[in-house]
Amino acid sequence: MKTGILALQGSFHEHSESLKLIDKDYIFIRSLKDLNQIDSLIFPGGESTAMMKIQENENLFLNLKELIESGIPTLGTCAGLIILSNQSVEGNRPLGVIDCLIERNGYGRQNQSFEATVTFDNFTGEYCFIRAPKIISYGSVVEPIAFFGDEIVGIRHNNIVGLSFHPELTNDEHYINWLKVFLEKGFHVGTL
């Protein structure tokens, strides 16, 4: 079985590099035919509005939502978090699989991107925030799992993890170890 990486736009190649480090087979998802034989999903950073528009005629997201709701481990970073949220993206409805409200570009535009220390799954590392969304609120069944100072930058709901930042750009040992276990078991995400 393979990890499916949404490859409509964004940092999908960087996520494939992470998967190579843990010897995990993957497939780039661009159409419905790519959904066969995947056991986990990654929604990369990029431009959430562009991703929504690219797939709208194929109903790709409806099929992805069914897979996520079946319980497969699913990771969304940056724009991936926006797509997984139940917030509206410029009039379009995202997948709505994480009960949270997200502010797009909540940490600023492209020229305000930065690196910061994040506490994630009981370890601390330096991660990139690129036009990062801000988690404004979340439902009672959603757990905060990553923090930038006092701000929550990562959340989990059952088999789904959403991160405001880009761990795939640094691929530090802690993240890679976390990713391996998460994709295998879907629940090892830790809370503080």
Annotated catalytic sites, by residue? Answer: 78, 166, 168
Q: For the ranges 20-29, 166-175, 180-189, which has the lowest average pLDDT?
A: 180-189
* Cα 183 to Cα 24: distance, rounded to the nearest angstrom: 9
* Cα 92 to Cα 184: distance, rounded to the nearest angstrom: 32
Burial class of residue 32, CB neighbours in 10 A (0-12, 13-18, 19+): middle
**Domain assignment present for 124:** yes
156 is in which domain, residue-wise? 2-185
* Cα 34 to Cα 153: distance, rounded to the nearest angstrom: 30
For the stretch 21-33, pLDDT in tens is 999 999 999 999 9
**Domain assignment present for 172:** yes
Q: Look at the chain and report how many structural domains it folds into.
A: 1
CB 88: neighbour CB atoms within 10 A? 11
pTM of the model: 0.92
CATH (domain of 152): 3.40.50.880
- For residue 190, what pLDDT band results from cuts at 50, 70 and 90? very low
**Domain assignment present for 37:** yes
**Domain assignment present for 192:** no
